[in-house]
Amino acid sequence: MQPQALDPLDRKLLQALQLDGRAPFNRIADVLGVSDQTVARRFRRLRSSLQLRVLGITDESRLGGNTWLLRLGCTPDTAEQLASALARRPDTSHISVISGGTEVMCAMKPRTRQARDDLLLDRLQRSPRVTSVSAHCLLHRFYGGPLGWLSKINALSPDERAALSPPPVGPGTHGVVLDDADEALLAVLARDGRAPLTELQASTGLSESAVRRRLDRLRSTGVLYLAVQFDNEHFGNDVVAMLWLTVAPAALAEVGRALASHVEVSFAAATTGQANIVAATLHPSTGDLYTYLSDTVGALDGVRSAETTLTLRQVKQLAYEPGR
């Protein structure tokens, strides 16, 4: 069945949520010139048709942590099992089955060195399903995180964007320390970024004003950002690819900035390994991917080689959903 087409108001609402996932419906409605009920009704419909979810994401880099991309070779017919097992871990995201169903790619955000070593050096190495492990530490993010792909669809006018944008996040710091109340807030928001204040109060035992202050601090320091999870096919992007680029060191920053500006790119980062830039890209067809590789990526100075993998099935985006 063909995905239902998105009209201009749907696209505006999606981009508004990308800008501020906790923006009240009445604020969005006022900026877009529609009623609160219309925004609420559209949101409910998109949750059903687009699998739309707004999720609170903890940026581990603001806490002094690192993100790792794992490429796991596996025995035939076990990729789904491996991917599902990894998806149940709270420190993983963006898990997909790639490369003919014999490789799993996984983003991992361990809070501690022990958690990292437990997975990379122990559990995965001892698993009979895993035939190879390639781990890449992200060094610098050019695009992604708070800057989701919906920021590139240009549904909102400049004035609408300005009216809906939250205050800017402060400079990066590793000095943020979380306490139990912060952790409780982040746990609830990881399941539902729009969780009401009453639910956040119940999870922490704090007053409404204290919860608001906590939220403001977590967001203003960049520890918490809101991400929008949705089905790419409704935008006509049936092909999801990962590009592993080997780039001359002197050209890393320039190539990274160029990739960040491409409408096809939903994520790009410098990483450890022979392929020192990784990018996630969206395309209507494999022909469009070919054109992007040959005409756009191929024209970038400093790109020495490119490996491309296609996502066969996405098991986990930002949060684990059993049965999907």
Give domain limits for the chain. 236-311
Q: Tell me phi and psi for residue 125, to 5 degrees.
A: -65, -30
Q: How many CA atoms lie within 13 A of 72 on its CB side?
A: 32
Position 175 scores a pLDDT of 63
Whole-model pTM: value is 0.88
Which pLDDT belongs to residue 114? 85
219 C-beta neighbours (distance < 10 Å), count: 20
pLDDT at position 320: 46
CA dihedral 192, 195, 201, 203 (to 10 degrees): -20
Among the four given CATH numbers 3.40.50.300, 2.30.30.190, 3.30.70.920, 3.30.70.940, the one describing domain 236-311: 3.30.70.920
| Residue 43 contacts residue 114 (beta carbons within 8 Å) | no
- Cα–Cα distance for residue pair 264/285, rounded to 1 Å: 12
- The series of mean pLDDT values per 10 residues for the chain, 324 residues long, is 76 96 97 97 94 92 88 89 88 87 90 82 83 93 92 95 87 74 95 96 96 94 92 87 97 98 97 96 96 97 96 79 42
Nearest Cα residue to 317 out of 95, 56, 57, 150: 95
Residues 6+ apart with CB under 8 A from 228: 14, 17, 18, 21, 52, 53, 54, 55, 148, 150
- Rounded to whole angstroms, the Cα distance separating 23 from 227 reads 13
Between CA 47 and CA 291 the distance in angstroms is 33
From the CA atom positions of the chain, what is the Rg in Å? 20
* SS3 state of residue 312: strand
Per-residue pLDDT at 3: 54
Backbone phi and psi for residue 310, each to the nearest 5 degrees, phi listed first: -105, 140
Q: For residue 316, what pLDDT is reported?
A: 85
Burial grade of 264 (CB within 10 A; 0-12, 13-18, 19 or more): buried
Neighbours of 305 (CB within 10 A): 10
